[in-house]
Amino acid sequence: MKPKNKICVIGLWHLGCVVSSCLANAGYKVCGVDFTPEIINNLKKGKPPLYELGLEELLVKNLKSKRISFTDSFKDALDKASFIFLAFDTPVDEKDRSDLSIIYNACKKIAEFAPEKFTLVIMSQIPVGTSKILKEFILKKNKALLFEVVYNPENLRLGQALEGFMKPDRLIIGLENGIIKKKIEKLYSFIKAPKIYMDLSSAEMTKHAINSYLAGSISFINEIAGLCEVTGADARKVAEGMKSDKRIGQYAFLNPGLGFSGGTLARDLQVLRKIGKRKKIKTRMLNAIIEVNQEQNKKIIKKIKSIFGSISKLNVTILGLTYKPGTSTLRRSAALKIAQKLIFYKANVKAFDPMVNTQKIITGLKVFKSPYDAVRNSDLILLITEWPEFKNLNFSKIKRLMRKPIIIDCKNFLDSEVVKNIGFDYYGVGIKN
């Protein structure tokens, strides 16, 4: 397949970088554009804005083949584009509310420089109803444009994004009208997954509903985990039993641990809660999901206090700082929030993460390049991000280096029996400790 269509991708952080690289690899001529010159300059050199497994190699490959290019000129990027992708990772504030200003700024550029006819594909996470509003916004600024809008919500998991784009379970595609279905079928002909077509609002709502459901699963199993700890049940076994039920399934989000973070799930919850408030519809379940989640990470602090009595002057080592394994992003990381709380209580906090090599993250946090240096003279290890390499650490050596051999495994990631046999006091989540 060698399509001739030019595609313009606007927004080049994680989502846009993955989308543009994958579309170029499928044979399209892709031009990416962004408001940040530093991102553009690095991409021209084959350097993605953050680590994603396989992304740099794919980017370099398509730069060499000249199927992909990058520019800070919206005029050049949009010129003769058959498809225009809005692929910003929508910013979220500290209250998990979406900030759409950068998307509206991009729409201004579309109104100014887009060709007369094109198809606008929106992949950024936006509140339900926004696709139609964005079209009206563009047409208000340029009535001469003739274009259709498609909402194809991103479904990329950090660390698994390339496979998520090229081999998804399914594609949710919201169409403004049925006429453009064939055009989208042809655009995504290289993706063999089932395509579920619906109207724009239903596609937007589907994205909200999926993320809210996943968030609800996490809050549910964490609440069950709390009950397991006081009854002697093992939340790991409970989750295994639940997943064996066909009505729940083996891929259910039922792994007890910390609360959800990163902003993605919470953003959709807040969108739906806001709609409910505006339309005077009670959202009791969504409210409870948020409440349970906010309490979950506080339980780690309470657990430390229950073990040591006081946090002040404790030497604590955090293993894993990134939002999740397989990525370098620290955006809305639960580990950093816990570190800040420990520092507030006057603990001495050290950390190691295989993808973090800078000391300048938060005041009071010392980041080491070796896990063994990070644990030296520590009273406690908090394992937060479940990097696979942590399972291969020499825990006998770590025990000798620590002042007190105590581990709180916030994701139940390690083999608890192995660690305990080495001589550690091991604490998990939802496990009788």
The DSSP symbol for 352 reads: E
Q: Does the structural domain 6-193 have CATH classification 3.40.50.720?
A: yes
What is the pLDDT at residue 359?
67
What is the pLDDT at residue 358?
72
Q: How far is CA 26 from CA 22, 112, 166, in A?
A: 6, 29, 9
Distance of CA 111 to the CA centre of its chain: 30
What is the pLDDT at residue 1?
38
Location of structure tokens 């989540």: 429
Interval 26-85: pLDDT, tens = 999 999 999 999 999 999 999 999 889 999 999 999 999 999 999 999 999 999 999 999
What is the pLDDT at residue 2?
45
Whether residue 4 has pLDDT greater than 80: no
Rounded CA gap, 212 and 361, in Å?
30
Whether residue 313 has pLDDT greater than 80: yes
What is the pLDDT at residue 262?
65
Interval 261-301: pLDDT, tens = 767 898 999 999 999 999 999 999 999 999 999 899 899 99
Q: What residues have CB less than 8 Å from 186, skipping those under 6 apart?
A: 3
Contact 289, 212 (CB under 8 A): yes
What is the pLDDT at residue 38?
96
**Higher model confidence: residue 433 or residue 177?**
177
What is the pLDDT at residue 198?
98
Interval 159-200: pLDDT, tens = 889 999 999 999 999 999 889 999 999 999 999 999 999 999
Whether residue 158 has pLDDT greater than 90: no
Structure tokens at 357: 């090599």
Least confident of 138-142, 285-289, 328-332, 344-348: 328-332
List where CATH 3.40.50.720 sits in the chain: 6-193, 214-427
**Higher model confidence: residue 411 or residue 94?**
411
Interval 380-408: pLDDT, tens = 999 999 999 999 999 999 999 999 999 99
What is the pLDDT at residue 326?
82
What is the pLDDT at residue 8?
98
**Sign, CA torsion 75/81/87/90:** positive
pLDDT band, residue 128 (cuts 50/70/90): very high
Whether residue 323 has pLDDT greater than 90: no
Under CATH, what is the fold of the domain 214-427? Rossmann fold (3.40.50)
Q: What residues have CB less than 8 Å from 23, skipping those under 6 apart?
A: 7, 9, 30, 85
Interval 209-265: pLDDT, tens = 999 999 999 999 999 999 999 999 999 999 999 999 999 999 999 999 998 876 789
Question: Phi and psi (nearest 5°) for 386?
Answer: -85, 65
Interval 87-113: pLDDT, tens = 999 887 777 788 999 999 999 999 999
What average pLDDT does the chain have?
A: 94
